[in-house]
Chain A
Amino acid sequence: MRQDAPIQALVAEVGSLSLEFTRLSQLTGDSRYYDAVQRIYDRLYEQQNKTRLPGLWPIIVNARKAGFTADRTFTFGGMADSLYEYFPKVGYRTPPILHNSH
């Protein structure tokens, strides 16, 4: 079942899996789920200050290339909102780790 991540995805979709997956890892002791969403967070973090509005991420991201910088549209509203919403929620549910305490 060969598949490839989409070249156009909503940043809110990609960035709003972390709370549930982290919690699942915590409840099952299986780190796979946490690992999966941490990879997304790592990429987001690496590119946070390289977007057209440094500090924020645009709505459309290229998941296939893990590129989060190209698009020029930014919002806190729908299509991006839960990306930002999840940061403090995940942050407060997991013990502090060096590179993700924003």
Chain B
Amino acid sequence: MNRLLRRYLILCILAICCTLVISQLFGLIPWDGLYGPTSPRKSTRARSKKVDWRNLKFNFPISSITPLPTGPPLPIPQVQYDFPPESTLQRKVRLERLQAVEKAFLRSWKAYKKYAWLQDEVKPLTAGYRNDYGGWAATLVDNLDTLLIMGLEKEFKIAISGLKKVDFSMYPVSKINVFEMTIRHLGGLLSAHDISKGRYPILLDKAKELGAMLYHAFDTPNAMPIMRLELKK
């Protein structure tokens, strides 16, 4: 190879390396976005408007708040049957079943990652996605604790990095289903927090953000919650 060509080749390789380093430094390569639908995420792009739930005015503010009771909770009695120790064969069967469950879970989880990352749900027949729960990554948030329980640490960490993009101050894409968001999103965040023993502060941070939103469902004349929360102009 002649000197000029070799020099040109070295310059090209250096240029590519520099571009990669700079892109990585400025977060220009969306490694997380390599998961997700190939079609543009219309729902997230349209939601540039924000809602300041913490400072949103209440029409019926509560004047006297019942404080949380203090002291230790009641001990939970054992409800499980006292099984004798597992035989080798029983253990083998149990582990095979565990693996089968994990395999089924991972199949669904990977489909969500590939076709509906950060959306609410994957559509299994069309490989599309839907956002019936406000567009705050319902499947991701709901499964945080499941990932931990199953010992899928790597997947959990991927989910945590996705969670950083879930912003409860974003303008909702649909009416907020108070019940579903409480049991899935709030429940998911808090149980993951408890199971991981507080090791991931983002979980409680997001739970607080969400709590500020959901609390507005109780802003009614008699403090009973509205079940479909929406913002009116």
Which positions in A face B, CB cutoff 8 Å?
1-6, 9-10, 12-14, 16-17, 19-29, 31-36, 38-40, 43, 63-66, 82, 91-97
The residue from A3, A27, A33, A97 contacting B220, defined by CB atoms under 8 A apart: A3
Interface check B36, CB cutoff 8 A: no
Interface check B199, CB cutoff 8 A: no
- Tell me the bound Cα distance from A29 to B219 in angstroms: 21
Q: Is the CB of A17 within 8 A of B179?
A: yes
Considering the complex, give the chain A residue whose CB is closest to the CB of B231.
A1
One of B10-18, B64-72, B104-112 at the interface: B64-72
Considering the complex, give the chain B residue whose CB is closest to the CB of A63.
B224
The residue from A28, A38, A63 contacting B66, defined by CB atoms under 8 A apart: A38
Q: Is the CB of A1 within 8 A of B225?
A: no
Q: Is the CB of A32 within 8 A of B178?
A: no
User: Which residues of A lie under 8 Å from residue B76 when comparing CB positions?
Assistant: 92
Q: Which one of B74, B178, B204 has the greatest number of beta carbons of chain A within 10 Å?
A: B74
Total contacting residues, chain B, CB less than 8 A:
44
Overall SS of chain B's interface:
loop
- Tell me the bound Cα distance from A66 to B150 in angstroms: 41
Q: Is the CB of B207 within 8 A of A1?
A: no
Q: Is the CB of B190 within 8 A of A23?
A: yes
Contact pattern, B 36-68, Cβ under 8 Å of A = 1, otherwise 0: 000000000000000000001001001001111
The residue from A1, A14, A31 contacting B224, defined by CB atoms under 8 A apart: A14
One of B86-94, B120-128, B158-166, B180-188 at the interface: B180-188
Q: Is the CB of B68 within 8 A of A94?
A: yes
| A-facing residues in B136-179 (Cβ within 8 Å) | 178-179
Q: Is the CB of A64 within 8 A of B74?
A: no
